[in-house]
Amino acid sequence: MTIARLKPLLRWLILGAALFFLASTVRQHWHEVAAIRLDKRGWQLLAIALLTTLLAHVWTGWVWGWILKALGQSTSASWSIRTYLTTNIAKYLPGNVWHFYGRVWAAQKVGVPLAIAIVSVVLEPLLMAASALLVGLLGIRQAGWGLQALSLAIALALVHPRILNPVLHKLSRKKASTDEGMAVEAQQVEQIGLQRYPVWPLIGELIFLGLRSLGFIWIVLAFAPIPPEQVLPVFSAFSFAWLLGLVVPGAPGGIGVFEATAIALLPAQLTPAVILSAVACYRLVSTLAEALGAIAGWGVGKLAKQP
């Protein structure tokens, strides 16, 4: 059996294992979850979490514009934010690639060369992954400072142009070859890459991960207080769970993979009922924020086209 045929099987295997773990955990603790009630303060914190998550998506739309600028293309912040918001909700469609196609198509419409548009949508999740790794490593207290510093240095080195560009070219060629309309431009990808270290895009994605993590913190606080010494481990656990949801082949939007990882990694000081409730609410808040962002982006786009 070829690797290409094994990929769909692996995807379903990972999704099945994650869902089995989730179902088993819910079965063991559903009585505790059912006993949890939100008070007025809890609902207020969930509303703050929704606004924080929406702000994170608006911010990363702006950062995508920075990535295009780093690749030699100048686009307005309003266009990059609007395009990002309106296409982001498409990641929940089967295949988990339609948000990328939407951005490539929109970038072409404003004059961005196809090859550069492809590279930009590949570079963005790579920088996100590096940022999630950096934030996650900061919260590992079991490792000594020496090991932690070495891990952070390796993570920062991974986005150096000499290391990142070959990976970027390989992934971009692969993405281009999956669509006949992109295949013509696939060879041009080799000529495109970062000329300098992506300091600002990386900082931008770090802020994005910080906002997403903060949104998750608000959700956890809606159900139970977090001891001060556990705030950083919660940030770390969320970042690693979000990273695995991004890179592991599974359900669209990381559904199942994120939840299972977060449940496994969140500190033991939080009860299983709180963790399950927070993870479930996070998915609801995250999806709602993306839907609101898509509606807002579409509405602003319509108004911008009016004379």
Q: Give the three-class secondary structure for 180.
A: helix
> Which DSSP category does 186 fall into?
G
Domains of the chain, by residue range, sit at 46-298
Please tell me the predicted confidence (pLDDT) of residue 304. 65
CA atoms within 13 A on the CB side of 248: 24
Please tell me the predicted confidence (pLDDT) of residue 1. 45
Please tell me the predicted confidence (pLDDT) of residue 184. 45
| Low pLDDT (below 50) residues in the chain | 1-3, 21, 33, 180-181, 184
Distances (CA, A) of 27 to 14, 99, 257, 269, 284: 20, 34, 18, 20, 20
Please tell me the predicted confidence (pLDDT) of residue 65. 94
Please tell me the predicted confidence (pLDDT) of residue 204. 96
Please tell me the predicted confidence (pLDDT) of residue 24. 58
For 228, residues 6+ apart whose C-beta sits below 8 A from its C-beta are none
For 258, residues 6+ apart whose C-beta sits below 8 A from its C-beta are 241, 242, 244, 245, 279, 283
- Global pTM exceeds 0.85: no
